[in-house]
């Protein structure tokens, strides 16, 4: 059974096109055709009413949503609940994210994601393990009792996922270059973050397999004139990806604009670092025994420190336009195409093109979500 999406504006490659019909066949995109194409005759028609159709958003850092925190209950049910909430905001692919915890909890989280992948749960692409191999001085909201060095004994746990992507955030100074190389060779996407690493060590870590940087600028040594450090290395290297939180609170928009001048835009990806506050009206939530309050859309712990976000991907896209001055095409690519490239899924996700998964998001004139499709199923 074909579905024909008609009367919309669609992002095709680097341009927005009108007057075309998008044909879906099952879980895949079949073709972008003229309305008179014979294949449209027997298709179920969906009128997009002139609205904007984009590749579905991909978020590689999702701690929670709808009042649910993955760390509290690393289970199939939690993943389903979190994914359903974020789908309302255009996220059609995501990595449930576990912040620093003990190895047993990491193992349970990986097993839960494996069950989600085996069950074909909509939107689940793998797991992001953020810590506990982080620098104590740059731990942010991560519980210091869980922090540890990454040694050979931990590697077996981290390699447990099959058929999905594993992203691991670590501080390069909390392990060895040989272990980083081993993880990368095993297919784990290693990102540097929560780190005080200097420029030389970070550059060496990149050479040994570090693929990206987790929430650039946040929980990292500052960029200084005589100490470019981890941020300087992230911006100097043109091959690695940088996740950026565009909420107007985590990083000054001017700093993000400067970053975007340093390396190609296709090496930046929007992330939410979302906490249970997304999709919830609650004014607070618990994070590993601490009360996190949500005031004016910002999550803070008892000391006033930032504790993840109440940001969703549709808002991140709007902010990339309004705060960073990007056009909607580039903002959308940072939310879909570039994260797909980072994950190595760019031959099936992140574009509206024949053969790609039919993961789509429909936005109105205010760039708010009106409809989503995951593998051809609408919601």
Report the pLDDT value the prediction gives residue 353, as an integer from 0 to 100: 97
CATH 3.20.20.140 domain residues, the chain: 56-343
For residue 240, pLDDT over 90 is answered with: yes
For the cut 90, the answer to whether the pLDDT of residue 279 exceeds it is: yes
158 contact partners, CB below 8 Å, separation of at least 6: 106, 110, 129, 166, 168, 183, 188
What gap in Å lies between CA 279 and CA 89, rounded to an integer?
9
CA atoms of 68 and 64, how far apart (whole Å): 5
| pLDDT attached to residue 50 | 97
| Percent of the chain surpassing pLDDT 70 | 100
For the chain, what percent of residues have pLDDT higher than 90?
99
pLDDT at 1 over 90: no
Band the pLDDT of 9: cuts 50, 70, 90: very high
pLDDT at 152: 85
What are the C-alpha distances in Å from 26 to residues 30, 290, 336, 376? 9, 45, 21, 6
Q: Which class is domain 2-54+354-378? A: mainly beta
pLDDT for 28 equals: 98
Residues of the chain with CATH 2.30.40.10: 2-54+354-378
- Which positions are annotated as active-site residues? 273
If you average pLDDT over every residue of the chain, what do you get? 97
Q: 30 pLDDT exceeds 90?
A: yes
- What is the tens place of the pLDDT at every residue in 156-207? 999 999 999 999 999 999 999 999 999 999 999 999 999 999 999 999 999 9
Question: Domain 56-343 - what CATH class?
Answer: alpha beta
Rounded to 10 deg, the angle between the 229-236 and 199-207 helix axes is 40
Whole-model pTM over 0.95: yes
pLDDT in tens, 304-349: 999 999 999 999 999 999 999 999 999 999 999 999 999 999 999 9
For position 22, what pLDDT does the model report? 98
């Amino acid at each position: 059974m074909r579905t024909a999406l008609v009367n919309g504006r669609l992002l095709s490659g680097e341009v927005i096109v009108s007057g075309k019909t998008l044909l879906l066949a099952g879980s895949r995109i079949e073709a972008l055709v003229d309305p008179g194409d014979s294949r449209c005759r027997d298709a179920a028609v969906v009128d997009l009413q002139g609205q904007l159709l984009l590749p579905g958003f991909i978020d590689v850092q999702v701690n929670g949503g709808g009042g649910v925190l993955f760390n509290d209950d690393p289970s199939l049910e939690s993943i389903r609940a979190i994914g359903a909430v974020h789908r309302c905001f255009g996220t059609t692919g995501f990595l449930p994210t576990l912040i620093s915890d003990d190895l047993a909890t990491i193992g349970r989280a990986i097993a839960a994601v494996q069950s989600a992948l085996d069950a074909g749960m909509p939107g689940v692409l793998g797991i992001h393990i953020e810590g506990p191999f982080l620098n104590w001085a740059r731990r942010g909201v991560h519980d210091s009792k869980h922090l540890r060095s990454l040694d050979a004994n931990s590697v077996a746990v981290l390699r447990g996922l099959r058929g999905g992507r594993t992203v691991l955030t670590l501080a390069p100074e909390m392990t060895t270059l040989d272990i980083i190389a081993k993880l990368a060779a095993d297919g784990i996407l290693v990102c540097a973050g929560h780190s005080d690493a200097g420029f030389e060590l970070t550059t060496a870590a990149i050479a040994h397999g570090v693929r990206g940087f987790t929430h650039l600028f946040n929980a990292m040594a500052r960029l200084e004139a005589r100490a470019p450090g981890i941020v300087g290395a992230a911006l100097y290297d043109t091959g690695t990806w940088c996740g950026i939180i565009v909420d107007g609170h985590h990083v000054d928009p001017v700093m993000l604009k400067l970053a975007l001048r340093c390396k190609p835009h296709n090496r930046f990806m929007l992330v939410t670092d979302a906490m249970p506050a997304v999709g919830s009206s609650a004014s607070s939530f618990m994070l590993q025994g601490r009360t996190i309050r949500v005031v004016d859309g910002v999550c803070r712990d008892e000391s006033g420190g930032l504790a993840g976000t109440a940001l969703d991907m549709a808002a991140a896209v709007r902010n990339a336009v309004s705060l960073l001055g990007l056009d909607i095409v580039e903002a959308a690519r940072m939310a879909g195409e570039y994260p797909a490239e980072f994950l190595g899924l760019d031959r099936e996700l992140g574009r509206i093109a024949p053969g790609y998964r039919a993961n789509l998001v429909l936005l109105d004139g205010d760039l708010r979500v009106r409809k989503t499709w995951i593998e051809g199923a609408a919601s």
